[in-house]
Structure 1
Amino acid sequence: MPEWVSEQGIGETRFALLDGDHILAARVEPEGMMAAGTRVEARLKVTRPRPVALLENGGEVLLKAAPRGVTEGGRFMLEITRPALPGPEPWKRALGRAAADAPAAFDTLDAAALMVPDVADRLGKAGWDELLGQAADGRVAFAGGELLLALTPAMTVIDVDGWLAPEELAIAGARAAGAAIRRLDIQGNIGIDLPSVAGKAARQAAAEALDESLGGEAFERTGVNGFGLLQVVRPRRRPSLLELAHDAAAFAARALLRRSALGGHGPVRLAAHPTVAAVLERNGGWLDELARQRGGAISLRVDPGLAMSGSHAEPV
């Protein structure tokens, strides 16, 4: 039976729903990200044109409405409803509301699944590195074709391409798109471009294949129109792996730390692309934690000839 496992990593916490050696769904929570449901004290910065709260660390949170009875400069208890989103839209600040306006709605996984610690690198054996590669490249292969995934200001777009007959490709592509949505934790508005098919039965079969692959999770969708377009909307609670991967250097740095932490014991040298090395140097505590976990000193070698994803650990 599928179960959620967790891995407390350096700079992030990872979660995966595993069915044997297959990742059905995943999520990553970077260090310092305020998850939906977090409650903190904040100050009301402005009320117009849209209310904005100011956090103790200087971060800003857009509010659905100004807290009742609080004037500008006043303090109140804030609940985060969506953390700030990385990606091509850095203006997408965190969203929140006055905590008194509604009961807490924490962004947690099923209580029975919180969490089975991943002490045997089950994530790695199930293809975690491959999943990170898909997030970074925006490409997911499936039998008969490939998905191309892209972030836009309006939605995440999934283009289905392949060499099967159009009706067969539409069904297989819809099934693969649903699986990718879960595995890459894609939320909000999602547009799927399937091959155009004339038959209503084939379009319905493609929509049903998507429904099945989404595994019964909460979502809404349109039907598949005559041009092969389908829209899905999932609750927006956190950044997807695609959005996290948009900050490519930090994404690669945390992946390097994971591989290095699980790759043995004792001293090690990290060979890294300059931008990846810069992330590691800015977050010196990450290297200190890696040294503690490995039980040996950590050194860093900057190599401009490496791709960011090609950063690796070397013996010393």
Structure 2
Amino acid sequence: MPTPVITPSGIPLTTATPVVSVKPIVLPAPERGTDLHVRVSAPVAGNELPIVLLAHGFGSSLEGYGPLADFWAAHGFVVIQPTHLDSRTVGLPADDSRTPRIWRFRVEDMVRVLDELDTLEAAVPGLAGRLDRSRIAAAGHSFGGQTAGNLLGLRVLDPAGEGAPDLSDPRVTAGVLLATAGRGGADLTPFAAEHFPFMNPDFAHMTTPALVVMGDRDDLPLSVRGPEWTADPYVLSPGEKSLLTLFGAEHSLGGIAGYEAKETTDENPARVALVQRVTWAYLRHALGIDSTAWAAARAALAGDAHPLGRLESK
């Protein structure tokens, strides 16, 4: 196991390793109507590699989130990125019969990835026998945060009338939810209630440990409550949770959605670097690998002394 070394942020970090990335790996999905395309990124060295399933935000694809996927892979994780049906690369019409269940298809994509780990492992040169399937986390940004949250126990009041099913998966033992939606109902704007009726999460059963990351200037047109809305996954869920509040951050949290991504309205490389390091430290802690970097992150970001953010836990 590589030994972390201190970085300028004060958070220890292992030496980066070159990464191999394979895309698209195509998983047949006849009931989905469109085969599932997946990207797998992994370090070229190391064994017993933990796994992170990374769900993209609305409209993105397996091509997105390089600042996170590349960083996590370079520092010891296998990162798996499916392209969900809402991706602009799929081009699903708004009146497609699958649209009302788009949130549910996303969760099914993540479960399919878990079920097809043998296929994905075999598709990446040199990866065979190097996965640690006892250490799996789910992560997601924006709509992807809700998708990842479903695997952690978050439930959605389905607008199609299917109730609020339990879609948690015991194979996933930790999560990272980035700029993720809060409560629905009266907390939604009329626009959000009309166009995103699936945005009605119940956090009462989300017991799996998770790190929630929010920006204190993430004032989305989806909620009447302002940026504090995105803290709901931390505030309203039980169990071990942590919250990283990024000062001055908007929805892209400084630029995690992609390199030079046009949707980044608050470009800040230092902020992205902090998100990279804190999420990496948390994943190593929550998956039982090593808590050294996480302890350092909590110390460095305690209270409001750090210029970039605050980290708290419950």
* TM-score band, normalised by shorter chain: under 0.3
Larger radius of gyration: 1
Say which structure is richer in strand: 1
The TM-score, its normalising length taken from structure 2, stands at 0.27
